[in-house]
Structure formats: structure tokens, C-alpha cells
Amino acid sequence: MISQSAIDTLRKTEIGARGLFIDGVQIEATSGASLPVTSPIDGRPFASIADGNAADIDRAVKSARKAFEKGSWSRSAPAFRKKVLTKFAELVEKHADELAVLGVRDNGTEIGMAYKAEPLSAAGTIRYYAEAIDKVYGEIAPTADNVLGLIHKEPLGVVGVIVPWNFPLMIGAWKIAPALAAGNCVVVKPPEIASLTLLRLAELASEAGLPAGVLNVVTGRGSVTGEALGLHMDVDAIAFTGSGPVGRRLLEYSARSNLKRAFLELGGKSPNIVFADAPDLKQAAVVSANGIFRNSGQVCVAGSRLLVQASVYDRFMDELVAATTQLKVGDPLDLASDIGAVSSAEQLDKNLGFVTRATEEGARLVSGKRILTETGGSYMAPTIFENVTQDMQLAREEVFGPVLGVMRFETEEEAVRLANSTVYGLASAVWTANLSTAHRMVRAINAGVVHVNTYGGADITVPLGGVKQSGFGRDKSLHALEKYLELKTAWIAL
């Protein structure tokens, strides 16, 4: 684990101006323009990134296509790709302290979570797909004796990756690692408010031996560079994590351009369901509090809707409030902080708008709303509302902040109805000691992930993705490789 002394030293590091990473080198944007990088910790700028445009995206895609056609990566032996990616993972681990602190300065995630969830998680993901790629076999079809049917698995080509600002390294690795392992070349569009770690990641990939042009990073505004990537005629697939409206635009861009594949992991309004027979109500309350409030609620699978069976409601709420009050909001680069900063002043304003609307619609504020402003950064205390009804905005729309809506339910059937009553279907949880209840709920809840007697913690071995308007396509696990491989049939007459 990183030490406080290492954190204090690294937080003083001068970053300066960062360029685009194209064809293995750092270069300026075509326009020469840049964007300031303002830390949510104190509201002060501490670096700048290149403000890329459509011409820069085109440069990056051309570099990726040239590298792909050259074949030094795309047609290399899987064992070679494994060797390079393993070295890549080792370098990410070696620079974990640097990457973690850099990321926290950029997006405000508390360092304890960031260290594990960003560089260490990314290194583990890269290593996982490095180990997997030389174990992917083609197939021989069951045919008549006079025919040989072969099914080859080949890389798609150029893959565009667009990731969000909450966990850019972790989520970026979920897409970049399997795409590279499969032999593709990649163009990454990082979030404009959290680009620094992905630029550093590309440098480490190059140091590990990744050929020039195989991994490119173009920073800039989503409305410019993201749109250009989505509309580019020579991008074969887009892998995206982010909001529903942007996901819809990427589908539109696919239709308007070359019908590129679009893999979308979108929003969530995940139900966390506590039955009266939960094995340990106190533990459930502690985990539930962390499941919504860590990283200031800026987690796509956050358990933002809490459904509690009426017979234990009051007791559980007491435990929940007690657990929540134990969470310390403060400087995300202080190991004593449990919750760091909200990613930006704009996001904080959005969160407070949800709080105002919930109050106006009749929900009761149990705790929270307080903003910590002494540092000049963006902070918000964990906020809990009860008496929430399904017609309220807080029950229907994703906040992406530390705001929890609590509802009561009487029966299992009512819990299922409430759980499935939004347009989302990303994650969920069920707390019960009854095995039959657990299995029934796993089947009945419309979500890509159903936790039982826990919330969060699923590792790289299982897929993550949603149903309904939470998107489609899966990150993580061996199934993610399927997205980045093309099937080609060879039908040979003997």
C-alpha cells in the first residue's frame, strides 16, 4: 500500500503541458490549443492537456491503421503479445504510486480506493488478458469427409475507446487490454477532466515494447474528439463507458459512418434490496453505505436505490446512518479520508440540484447535503433521503453523486417490482439468508450483475455490463475478448 510520505512527495510533482500520444511519441495538437487541468481537490489548475480536434483523431486513426496493416502487432504470435503485455503490466505496477496520485489530483477519488481500483486493477487486467490470449483457439466445424470447415479468430482492426472520468485507468484497461491482446490497434479518447493517467499509460505501453501506432491517446473535448472518433470511416469498433445520451449519439454516428460496432456500458440506478432475514444487518448497512458513498457516489454500479423490508426498516436505517456518519469526507490525498472530492464544480452543482428536487417532491432528508468548501475544491457529504417514491426524480434518474434514496417494501414481489421499475439494468444486490429467495431474486431482477449478501468486489473473471438502457456488450472476463475478435470461415473442398 502507498505511504502518506510518498503521497505527499508525489502531489508536489510538476506536471506541465501534456501533448497527444500518437505513433509512439508525444506531439502537440494540430491547432496548438490546450485545455487547463483543474484539480477538484482545491479548484486550482496544475497542468494542461492538448485540445485535440478531428484532424488529430484522423492522425491517430491513420497511425493505428498503418500499424495494423504492417502486422508487427496484429499478425504477431500470441506468445509475443503476451510477453509485451506482461511487461506492460509490470511497469504499471512499478509506477503504481505515481499513477494513483496523478489520477487523484485529476479526478478527486480518495487515494485508498484509487490505488487499488486504478493502477493495481489496471495492471491485473492487462496481465489477465496477456495470459489469456495464447489460449484462444480456432475451431474445426463438423463436416462431411470431403470438406474442411475452419473458423478463424482475427482482430477487428482499429478500435476506438472512450472512457469516463471516475476510473479512467480501471475502465480503460477493461477495454484496451483485451483489444490489444486480440491484436487490434487502439485510439483512446480520455475524459477531458481526467486524461493524465491514460497519457502516462500509453508511455508505459511504449516502454514495454508495444510498437508505435498500436496505442494512441487523443485528448480534447468529447463534443469534438469523441464525435470525430465515432464518425471516422476507418474505425472498426467503439467501446464506450458513459452516459446514455452520449451512447445514443455513438449509435447514431455508427449509422452515419461505416456501421462500426458499438459496445456501450451506460448508466445505472441500481437497487440494493435488504430482506428482514439478512444475515447481518449491521454489516449490510456498512457495505451498503460504502456501495453508494465511496468515490462520492461516482461509480456506475453504485447502489443508489436502497429497498428495505418494512419489518426491519427502522433498525436498518439506524445502522445505515451510524455507518454513514463514520465516513470521513476530506482531502482525497490523505489516507485518513474515506471519501474524496466530487470530480468537478459542475458535477457538484448537478448533485445539489437532485437534492433540491428531492426535497421539493416530498422526500425526507435524513442526513447529508453539507458541502466542505474550506479547500476551494468540490466536496459533498453523503446524503440520504427516505420516503422516496417511484415517481420521484431521485428514484428514476442517475445522480452519479453521493445521494441515496431509500424505499420500504413489504413482500418479495413488491421488491422485484420496485427493482425493475427503472429504464436501467446495470447492477443490483440482495441481502437474505434464504438460498431460495436469493436464487429467485437473481432470476427476477433485470440487471447484468446481481450481488448476494455483498455489494461490489466482483473481479476480472466475471463479465460486467447491463440490460435495458444500461447498454450492451460486456467488459471483463474472457467474454470481453469476443468483442474484439472477428470470426472468419474457411470452407475447403478436399
Predicted confidence at residue 376, as pLDDT, reads: 82
Residue-wise pLDDT for 381-436, tens only, equals: 999 999 999 999 999 999 999 999 999 999 999 999 999 999 999 999 999 999 99
**pLDDT for position 367:** 92
- Average confidence (pLDDT) over 186-194: 97
Q: Report, as an integer, the average pLDDT of 244-272.
A: 97
* Pairing relationship of beta strands 451-452 and 471-472 according to DSSP bridges: unpaired
Is 300 noted as a catalytic residue in this protein? Answer: yes
Give the three-state DSSP class for 392: coil
Q: What is the pLDDT of residues 30-53, one digit of tens each?
A: 999 999 999 999 999 999 999 999
User: Length of the chain in residues, anyone?
Assistant: 494
Answer positive or negative: Cα dihedral of 124, 126, 130, 136: positive
265 catalytic? Reply is yes
C-alpha cell at 163: 472512457
Out of 110, 118, 192, 265, the active site residue is 265
Burial class (CB in 10 A: 0-12, 13-18, 19+), 136: middle
User: What pLDDT score does 374 carry?
Assistant: 65
Instruction: Sort 489 into a burial class: Cβ within 10 Å, 0-12 / 13-18 / 19+.
Output: exposed
Round to whole Å and give the CA distance between 312 and 2: 40
The C-alpha atoms of residue 295 and residue 289 are separated, in whole angstroms, by 12
pLDDT at 266 over 70: yes
According to DSSP, the β-strands at 383-386 and 403-409 are: parallel
> CB–CB of 241/163 below 8 Å?
yes
Q: Is the pLDDT of residue 197 over 70?
A: yes
Supply the mean pLDDT for the chain. 97
Please state, as a whole number, how many other Cβ atoms lie within 10 Å of the Cβ of residue 321.
Answer: 17
Q: Enumerate the β-bridge partners of residue 217.
A: 21, 188
Instruction: Tell me the three cell numbers of residue 483.
Output: 468483442
- Give pLDDT, residue 373: 67
Q: Which of 300, 386, 398, 412 is catalytic?
A: 300
What is the distance between the alpha carbons of residues 388 and 397, in angstroms, rounded to a whole number?
13
Q: Is the dihedral of CA 115, 118, 124, 130 positive or negative?
A: negative
- The enclosing H or E element of 91 equals helix 78-94
User: What's the pTM?
Assistant: 0.97
DSSP SS3 for 107: helix
Question: pLDDT tens across 206-233, in order?
Answer: 999 999 999 999 999 999 999 999 999 9
- Residue 372 vs residue 393, higher pLDDT: 393
Look at strands 383-386 and 364-367 and give their pairing.
antiparallel
Measured CA to CA, the distance from residue 369 to residue 6 in angstroms comes to: 32
Q: Residue 78 and residue 206: Cα distance in Å, rounded? A: 18
pLDDT at 372: 73
